[in-house]
Structure 1
Amino acid sequence: MIGRKKKRIVGKIIWGPRKSHENGMSTGISQPSVYHALVVIFLEFFAWGLLTNPMIMVLNDTFPNHTFLMNGLIQGVKGILSFLSAPLIGALSDVWGRKPFLLLTVSFTCAPIPLMKLSPMWYFTMISMSGVFAVTFSVVFAYVADITTEEDRSQAYGLVSATFAASLVTSPAIGAYLGSLYSDNFVVWLATAIAVLDMLFILVFIPESLPEKVRPATWGSPISWDKVDPFSSLRKMGSDYLILLLCITVFLSYLPEAGEYSCFFVYLKLIMGFTTEEVAVFIAVVGVLSVIAQTVILALLMKYLGHKQAIVFGLMFESIQLACYGFGSQDWIMWFAGTIAAMSSITYPAISAFVSAHAEADQQGVAQGVVTGIRGLCNGLGPALFGFIFYLFHVDLNENNEIESTHKQNHVDNHTLVKKMGTSKDSVIPGPPFAFGTVLVIIAMLVAINIPDNPHGKKPITKSAVQIHQSMVERGLKKNEDAAEPLMANCEQEL
């Protein structure tokens, strides 16, 4: 009976609007529902997932001398632009509606795809510049918020995240298989067709979710600078000691995670010698294990250990994972680290749950926005940092051009190529950025240990912290009223 009830609830969330939408649907051919958002997310990231292997090869062919540095810079510019533009796109969608910005973000995000084979330099340029509008998730979450009630919203967001994971689990393996069966060109044009299908779906089938009555009277209505300032939420960190600890934890742990996402599959193929099929299988295995970790294991940890212990648990596994990537040179170590990576994926959901559980009712959005802002900043800084560290340690392929051309002519497999090349796989630290990330995550774990278990209780704040605050007030660096409205629940100060 319980299982059937859950299925009915999920079905209602997906297929039916959960709010009244009078005067809110002037376009589209049906009522707005969560399934519209799921289709948009799945098609967009399925198209990009198909390109995992072709992207690695084009990146290496275009920048043979500084592969990892350029990859980091490209992804870093895209991340920084997304961080800066996300609040503005969100504010404009509150005025003009969600559908135009769904079409805009998907179009610009997928625009570089056909250029991969037509003009690689323009392809990478467009990837960097597309960061201005590459914020589909922000608009999708706003779309879902329009049509769900508060009690159903977390489940709906979970469905969106699960759909995103499902698209990335399946698409790299499919892309690798089609590439070996036909060619990389076929995969690129297939991804282009799927991206166009996504845009057509938005244009024809997606109804507007934002009711007319909640929009401003005119399109020219002024937008508050606080809403579009990407740094406004970050400045609120100092108003609460607890949120400050959480933000430091997020920054130190997600910075290496964002850098890892931007280059790890390139690293597996070009440095560790994984074949195309092995990279695809690796992504699928880690993706499936991550889904299990974020559902079953995270729920058990929350129930029996609590939020704080779940955060520390995830950070501990993340540090082990990064250490394996940084110091390991054997294939089995990479696979072992992949399973550990699935366990470490619970860190951010645990932090979000902690914020949700302890933030005041009227501060939920602000507190979550601060944490999300830190992640957005890391999405820009992480890839650039990893690329720069690879460059500093000369982990590149510039000395291997001759052997690479031999590989293309004779079709030597990747394992043989890596042995001939004598790359940094045989060095003491094959992956310097991952080793550096290990240090950052260990520091994050030490910070997380100092997070109060129960912020509502009488957990004292250290005298030194209060003295620092008073000193900042006296010098005019912080206003007294900042402490009057904490983002998280207050801890009683016992001096």
Structure 2
Amino acid sequence: MKKFIPAYLLTFVNVLGFSLLMPILPFVVDSYGAPKWVFGLLITLYSAFQFIGAPLLGSMSDAKGRKPILLISQAGTLLSWIIFIIAICLPEYQILGFALPLWIVALSRILDGITGGNTSVTNAYVSDMTTLKEKSYIFGYLGGIVGVGMIIGPGLGGITASTPIGYLGTLLTSVLISTVTLITIFKWLKESHPVEKRTLKQKVSLWEVIYIPLRIKKVDPSPMIKVLFSMKFFFSAMMGFYIGTMALFLIDLFGFNVKELGFFMFIIGLFLSFNQAFVSKFFIQKLGAFKTLILGLLCCAVGLVAITLTKNIWLFIPSYYILNLGLSLCFPVFNSLISVNANPKKQGEIMGISEAINSFCMACFPVVSAIIYTAIGSNLYRLLIILPLMALIFAFVGVKKYGKSTFQG
């Protein structure tokens, strides 16, 4: 499995780059006197530009190969962290009602977003290198690595931000990790998409990039993938609302500081890692990928309500575990099902659409979520159960229309 080490590391760094910031971004925003919704906006900016960048990187990798695109995208991530460091060293001049450093932080998130669509390329690389039987458990390993990143990131972010150099410690850690990853890709990642399998890169209009249904029509995927894309939209919308407010919710509920929030999210990451590395694999083997996805969506719906029922931290943790289990069951299964059923010549483009759906939701909903949360608080999560339930409806309609055998991946 040495051939997958660069892909594993790249997946880990992508998650770590996000999870490192989760416990510190709310406090960075607050330190410059900005309202809570700016936290959601910074997440939105990253995802909005990832939404534009992901399909372009995916199709470029189909035409030019995986390795050069991964090198370019990782270099962009490294540069974004350097810009973030510059931002917090700048004076707090006010520009249009916000401190100058916040504007530069926003710029760094935009750059990271444009080049951060490499998840689709990484998934395409893994798909290139795996057999049909290997795909489900290799993507399961990637899910486990996501869990490890979610464990280490928040704890590391909280600890490094608590040092005498503050947030600079977190950002320097990110620069170091991104540099190591860039070197690893350059030295050890072997091209998985040979010239004879590449497709000519076609000119794509901005409208084609933004309007996902047009891209799906152009690729013309199998009926199962169309259903999975619909399900992923509602799941990703739920994640957009969740990510845009969970850190704010934990701070309000338990009064956490940056270090405490980091450690608590470290515990959450432990759940996620265990569930993705072991529990999800167990359910996939016993139930199959599609039924595991159904179970995961049900757990998400129950968990969203459960976390609003208590302010006791010891009761909250098992309540949150239900939600966490649902997320853990869904994450690896979406990619494995899409990968197994995708046209091999269009892996990059199809994975790009999958990531674009996720990026679109992350681009639209975190800032909306933060605004709504400011108005109605934790009641937001009770409303969110509509989204996983809608995904379940699409699943059952798909089974009825296309037959059970289509959904046994």
**TM-score when scaled to structure 1?**
0.66
Are 2:26 and 1:56 aligned?
yes
In 2, Cα distance between the equivalents of 1:138 and 1:192?
Answer: 22
Return the letter of the residue paired with 1:433: L
For residues 255-274 of structure 1, the aligned pairs below 5 Å read: 255-270=237-252, 272-274=254-256
Deviation at 1:279, TM superposition (A): 2.5
Contact 1:44-1:106 at 8 Å conserved across structures:
no
Tell me the alpha carbon deviations over residues 271-329 of structure 1, each in whole angstroms, 9 at most, x when there is no partner: 54124444233323332323333354334444555555433322222122222345644
> What is aligned with 1:40?
10
Deviations 1:365-413 (A, max 9, x none): 588776554333222222133123235x1xxxxxxxxxxxxxxxxxxxx
Q: 1:258 offset after TM fit, Å?
A: 2.3
Tell me whether 1:118 sits opposite 2:65 in the alignment. Answer: no
Q: How far 1:447 moved relative to its partner?
A: 4.5
1:436-462 deviations in whole A, cap 9, x for unaligned?
31233344444545452794469xxxx
C-alpha change, 1:300 and 1:227, in structure 2 (3 Å) is farther
- 1:223 alignment counterpart: 202
How far, CA to CA, are the matches of 2:289 and 2:196 in structure 1? 39
Alpha-carbon deviation of 1:90? 1.7
Question: For 1:74, what is the secondary structure of its paired residue?
Answer: helix
Q: CA deviation at 1:106?
A: 1.6
Distance change in 2, residues 1:179/1:73 (3 Å):
closer
Q: Which residue of 1 aligns with 2:267?
A: 285
User: Could you tell me which residue of structure 1 aligns to residue 95 of structure 2?
Assistant: none
Point out where structure 2 has 5 or more consecutive residues left out of the alignment: 91-100
Specify the code of the residue in structure 2 equivalent to 1:108. Answer: G
Structure 2 residue aligned with 1:331, among 309, 313, 319?
313
Q: 1:80 to 1:197 in 2, by over 3 A?
A: same
Residue 452 of structure 1 aligns to a residue whose secondary structure is helix
3-state SS of 2:5 partner:
helix
Structure-to-structure mapping, 1:184-203, within 5 angstroms = 184=166, 185-203=168-186
Could you say which residue in structure 1 is the equivalent of 2:39? 71
CA pair 443-208 structure 1, distance change in 2 beyond 3 A: closer
In structure 1, the partner of 2:97 is: none
Matched, 1:384 2:367: yes
Aligned residues of 2:120 and 2:352 also touching (Cα < 8 A): no
Matches of 1:268 and 1:223 in 2, distance apart? 46
Q: 1:254 aligns with which of 204, 228, 236?
A: 236
* 1:182, distance to aligned residue in structure 2 (A): 4.1
The CA deviation string for residues 220-265 of structure 1, in whole angstroms up to 9 with x for no partner, is x652649994423444799987666544433223212122124312
Does residue 134 (structure 1) correspond to residue 106 (structure 2)? The answer is no
Q: How far is the alpha carbon of 1:362 from its aligned partner? A: 8.2
Residue 146 of structure 1 and its aligned partner are, at CA, apart by 4.0
Alignment of 1:274-353 (within 5 A): 274-302=256-284, 305=287, 309-326=291-308, 328-345=310-327, 346-351=329-334
Amino acid at match of 1:289: F
Q: Please point out which of 436, 452, 458 is paired with 2:383.
A: 436
Instruction: Give the secondary structure class of the aligned counterpart of 2:399.
Output: coil
Point out the structure with max Rg over C-alpha.
Answer: 1
Q: Which residue of 2 aligns with 1:479?
A: none
Deviations 1:142-184 (A, max 9, x none): 3334444444344433333322321221232233234435442
Q: Secondary structure at the match of 1:161?
A: helix
- 3-state secondary structure, aligned to 2:256: coil
* 1:105-184 aligned within 5 A: 105-114=73-82, 115-116=84-85, 117-119=88-90, 120-121=101-102, 122-184=104-166
Residues 194 and 373 of structure 1, relative CA distance in 2, 3 Å threshold: closer
Determine which structure has the larger helix proportion and give its number. 2
SS in 2 for 1:274: coil
- Normalised by the length of structure 2, the TM-score is 0.78
Q: Give the distance between the partners of 1:238 and 1:214, measured in 2 at CA.
A: 19
- 1:111 match: secondary structure: helix
SS in 1 for 2:385: helix
Question: How many Å separate the matches in 2 of 1:360 and 1:373?
Answer: 16
Asked if structure 2 preserves the Cα contact closer than 8 Å seen for 1:329 and 1:430, the reply is no
Q: Please name the residue that 1:102 is paired with.
A: 70
**CA distance in structure 2 between the partners assigned to 1:363 and 1:210 by the alignment:** 10
Partners of 1:279 and 1:288 in 2: CA distance? 14
Segment of structure 1 superposing worse, 339-348 or 92-101: 92-101
Ranges in structure 1 where 5+ consecutive residues have no aligned partner:
1-13, 16-32, 394-428, 459-487, 490-495
Question: Which amino acid letter does the alignment assign opposite residue 202 of structure 2?
Answer: I
Give the % identical residues.
18
Q: 8 Å contact 2:128–2:193 — kept in the other structure?
A: yes
Q: Would you say the 8 A contact 2:234–2:388 is kept in 1?
A: yes
Question: 8 Å contact 2:143–2:277 — kept in the other structure?
Answer: no
Contact preservation (8 Å) 2:120, 2:355: no
Change (3 A) 1:194 1:322: same
- Alignment size in residue pairs: 387
For residues 87 and 54 of structure 1, the distance between their equivalents in structure 2, rounded to whole angstroms, comes to 30
Aligned mates of 2:306, 2:190 — CA distance in 1: 47
Alpha-carbon distance between aligned partners in 2 of 1:302 and 1:321, rounded to the nearest angstrom: 20
Task: State the structure with bigger RCO (CA 8 A, min sep 6), 1 or 2.
Answer: 2
User: Given that residues 44 and 198 in structure 1 are in contact (C-alpha distance below 8 angstroms), is that contact kept between their aligned partners in structure 2?
Assistant: no
Is the 2:77–2:111 contact (alpha carbons within 8 Å) kept by the matching residues of 1?
Answer: no
1:198 shift after superposition: 2.7
